[in-house]
């Protein structure tokens, strides 16, 4: 895990878009492993045919919508990424952006499946250019670049088709962009932004954006941007204020609850911020206290249930779920590795509490997973 804070948030963002994911064709055909854990949930693990089996190849799960469709990508044996959508019943549709490259490290990286059926992501072309795309529910793909940007990186999209993206200018400074459903763009930066730039990370169905930015001293701060352009900056109470310290909002509900993480003296802590600006900070028991370790609260659903991962003292990742009453349940996917950089990484949580993500095994090969609460198990197995 990187010890540089700027690099960490870029890494976290890259995990959601660059890691590589694809799911299996059908549960029965692939013999997916299903396990029950002590917290009344079931974990499905999956691999897509064609996913590579060497180090840092494989299947990566990203976000999930409320219908149970997961978007992600997989990395093949040539280290090329390909996109996929996996429906609640295990059917997988693979696809590539028309202008995606076919070289190692290039390809298609879908990440956001909306409740309306559309998908957003980004792709790397044969010249190593980065561009955004939106895929309609019928499969039509629209590629785009933020005006004046030398690279465009799609971060999120809501059900109305509003996209939050990052665009790098010619000087290498990232700026926030909003792409409207009609294809028009609005650029924005919070007041006080420095050369580290602006990173919008989520847009809810009301068009409100959450994210973070770096100031002139390279400290990071959270922000909320409403559709009229009003930006409210925030810092978690215990966030550090020095260079490579601070706070970021990762995901936001339609009601305005924000989940994020703050960073102080090298250690990360989770938080939930209410629409009124009140914070609840927390750490998972057993989380490491060394540089770059701690609790990374990453995703929240409309019921304010939080998921994310925690990095232990041995730099192994583990998943967690935090209920609305504050109770935290830890989990590991069967087969997850126990070495440095290995383990379980949850990526999202939907209204039913289903959590997709990926895990890295002892051979550093990546696989997808879906954790399903027992109460909703039938939704995924009976249809």
One DSSP character per residue, 69-127 reads: -EEEEEE-TTS-EEEEEE-TTS-EEEE--TT---STT-EEEEEEE-TTS-EEEEEE-TT
Q: Name which of 167, 164, 172 is nearest 195 in CA terms.
A: 172
Q: Is the pTM of this model over 0.85?
A: yes
Residue 30 has a CB neighbour count (10 Å cut-off) of 17
- CA torsion, points 170, 185, 216, 153, in degrees to nearest 10? -70
Evaluate whether 68 touches 352 at the Cβ level (below 8 Å): yes
Query: Could you give the count of Cα atoms lying within 13 Å of 302 in the half-sphere of its Cβ?
Result: 10
- Quote the pLDDT of residue 380: 54
Q: Name which of 121, 113, 116 is nearest 87 in CA terms.
A: 113
- Quote the pLDDT of residue 32: 34
Helix (H, G, I), strand (E, B) or coil at 17: helix
- Quote the pLDDT of residue 378: 59
DSSP, res 248? E
- Quote the pLDDT of residue 108: 98
Evaluate whether 369 touches 44 at the Cβ level (below 8 Å): yes
Helices (H), strands (E): how many in the chain?
Answer: 3, 29
- Quote the pLDDT of residue 16: 36
How high is the mean pLDDT in each 10-residue block of the chain (383 residues)?
A: 32 35 26 42 90 96 96 97 92 95 97 96 98 97 97 96 98 97 98 95 98 95 98 94 90 98 93 97 97 96 98 98 97 97 98 97 97 72 40
Query: Could you give the count of Cα atoms lying within 13 Å of 331 in the half-sphere of its Cβ?
Result: 30
- Quote the pLDDT of residue 244: 84
Q: Name which of 326, 281, 305 is nearest 371 in CA terms.
A: 305
Q: Name which of 273, 153, 145 is nearest 208 in CA terms.
A: 273
The secondary element (H helix, E strand) that includes residue 379 is helix 377-381
Q: Rounded to whole angstroms, how far apart are CA atoms 99 and 194?
A: 33
Helix (H, G, I), strand (E, B) or coil at 381: helix
- Give all domains of the chain, ordered by start, each with its CATH number: 5-381 (2.130.10.10)
């Amino acid at each position: 895990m990187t010890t540089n804070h700027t690099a960490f948030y870029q890494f976290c963002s890259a995990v959601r878009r660059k890691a590589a994911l694809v799911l299996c064709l059908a549960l029965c055909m692939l013999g997916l492993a299903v396990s029950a854990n002590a917290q009344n949930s079931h974990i499905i693990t999956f691999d897509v045919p064609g996913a590579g089996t060497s180090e840092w190849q494989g299947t990566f799960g990203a976000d999930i919508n409320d219908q149970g469709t997961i978007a992600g990508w997989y990395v093949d044996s040539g280290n090329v990424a390909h996109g996929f959508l996996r429906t609640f019943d295990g059917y997988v549709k693979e696809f590539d952006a028309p202008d995606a490259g076919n070289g190692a490290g290039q390809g298609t990286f879908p990440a956001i499946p909306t409740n309306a059926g559309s998908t957003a992501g980004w792709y790397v072309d044969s010249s190593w250019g980065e561009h955004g795309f939106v895929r309609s529910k019928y499969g039509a793909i629209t590629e785009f670049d933020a005006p004046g940007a030398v690279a465009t990186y799609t971060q999120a999209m809501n059900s109305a088709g509003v996209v939050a993206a990052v665009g790098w200018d010619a000087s290498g400074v990232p700026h926030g962009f909003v792409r409207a459903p009609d294809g028009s763009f609005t650029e924005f930066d919070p007041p006080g932004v420095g050369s580290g730039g602006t990173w919008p990370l989520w847009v809810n169905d009301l068009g409100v954006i959450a994210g973070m930015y770096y100031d002139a001293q390279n400290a990071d701060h959270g922000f909320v941007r409403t559709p009229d352009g009003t930006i409210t900056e925030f810092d978690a109470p215990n966030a550090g204020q020095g260079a490579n310290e601070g706070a970021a909002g990762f995901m936001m509900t339609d009601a305005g609850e924000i989940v994020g993480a703050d960073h102080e003296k090298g250690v990360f802590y989770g938080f939930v911020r209410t629409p009124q600006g009140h914070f609840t900070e927390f750490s998972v028991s057993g989380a490491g206290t060394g540089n770059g370790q701690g609790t990374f609260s990453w995703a929240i659903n409309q019921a304010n249930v939080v998921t994310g991962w925690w990095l232990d003292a041995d730099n192994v990742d583990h998943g967690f779920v935090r209920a609305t009453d504050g109770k935290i349940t830890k989990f590991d996917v069967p087969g997850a590795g126990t070495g440095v950089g290995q383990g379980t990484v949850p990526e999202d949580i939907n209204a039913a509490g289903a959590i997709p993500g990926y895990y890295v095994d002892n051979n550093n090969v990546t696989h997808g997973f879906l954790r399903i609460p027992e109460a909703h198990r039938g939704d995924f197995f009976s249809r």
